[in-house]
Amino acid sequence: MPLSAPAVDREHLHKRTYDFGGYRRSDGLWDIEGRIIDTKTYGFPNDHRGYVKAGEPVHDMWIRLTLDEDFVIQAIEAVTDHGPFAVCPAITPNFQRMIGVRIGPGWRKEVRSRLGGIEGCTHLVELLLAMATPAYQAMFPVRSKKESSRPPGKKPALLNSCHAFSEKGAFAKKAWPEFYTGET
Span 109-168, pLDDT tens digits: 999 999 999 999 999 999 999 999 999 999 988 777 777 778 888 888 788 888 999 999
* Bigger pLDDT: 44 vs 175: 44
Domain match, 61 and 40 both: yes
**Of the candidates 122, 116, 124, which has an alpha carbon nearest to the alpha carbon of residue 60?**
124
178 plus 87 within the same structural domain: no
| Residues 123 and 40 both lie in one domain | yes
* CA atoms in the 13 A half-sphere facing the CB of 106: 7
Instruction: Summarize the confidence of residues 37-61 as an average pLDDT.
Output: 98
76 pLDDT exceeds 90?
yes
* Residues 6+ away with beta carbon under 8 Å from 137: 22
Q: Residue 124 belongs to what H/E stretch?
A: helix 122-130
Residue 55 lies in a domain: yes
Query: What's this model's pTM, rounded to 2 decimal places?
Result: 0.87
Whether 90 is covered by a domain: the verdict is yes
Count of structural domains within the chain: 2
55 and 72 share a domain? yes
The reply to whether 158 and 135 lie within a common domain is no
Query: pLDDT tier at 63 (50, 70, 90 boundaries)?
Result: very high
Domain assignment of residue 180, given as a range: 150-184
Look at residue 8 and tell me if it is in a domain: no
Same domain assignment for residues 114 and 159: no
- Give the rounded distance of the alpha carbon of 24 from its chain centre: 17
Please, what is the angle between helix 107-115 and helix 122-130, to 10°? 160
Q: In this structure, are residues 60 and 37 in contact, taking their beta carbons and an 8 Å threshold?
A: yes
